[in-house]
Amino acid sequence: MNTKTVAKIALLFLFFLLNTKENTVVGQNQNTGSNQENPHNNLFTIRYDQTDSVYTITVPQELSSQFMCETENLRLDQTGDFNADGKDDIVFFMGACGTGGCVYGVFLHEYDIYYRLAFNEYLKCPAFETDKKGFYIIKSFEEYEAYNPEKIIESIYRFNKKKQVFEFYKSVINE
């Protein structure tokens, strides 16, 4: 197996692992002493310090062991309504880069300073587009063959409205 194939398999495994953990964590309810669900269990807090021009993300305790993030290298990439709910959502460049690309996180605005993580994955040459329904589509592009920019793999992630996450949809080889 060549290194490109191994890297693809590793990325697919990480994506599968992340989605599996997210699905099980999101479905859990932690009961407090009063038997009420804590509405903040799976929500991130995002604060912007205008003095230092720095964003701070606080990771929910339930997700802290599986969240890929270097909080000191956060960079706002873009804002927009990524799930067609009328609220401003956020895309961050998370600062972690490797041969598989760089990590980007999409956070959907719930209310106040609380956001739901909808995507946290390595992307190469990312593109964010809007479909006919107003939902964002995330695309990642990489060379299919080393040193051959004419063959490109386009990986597409679509928004799953039920789960409130972006999921891998398909990969296409463009020539």
Report the distance separating Cα 65 and Cα 43, nearest Å.
15
CA 145, CA 128: separation in Å to the nearest integer?
24
Q: What pLDDT is recorded for position 32?
A: 33
DSSP-derived secondary structure for 35-93: S-B-TTTTEEEEEEETTTTEEEEEPPGGGTTT----GGG-EEEEEE-TBSSSS-EEEEE
The two tokens of residue 66 are 């599986």
Residues in a beta bridge with 142:
153
**Predicted pLDDT at 70:** 60
Q: Which residues contact 95 (CB under 8 A, 6 or more apart)?
A: 69, 70, 72, 73, 74, 75, 102, 103
> Per-residue confidence of the chain (175 residues) as pLDDT tens digits?
555 544 444 444 444 444 443 333 332 333 333 334 555 678 999 999 888 888 888 888 877 666 666 666 689 999 999 998 999 999 999 888 888 889 999 999 999 999 999 999 999 999 999 888 888 999 999 989 888 888 999 999 999 999 999 999 999 998 8
pLDDT of amino acid 111? 95
pTM over 0.95: no
Q: Characterise 144 by phi-psi region: left (phi > 0), alpha (psi -120 to 50), beta (else).
A: alpha
Q: Where are the alpha helices (DSSP H) in the chain?
A: 3-26
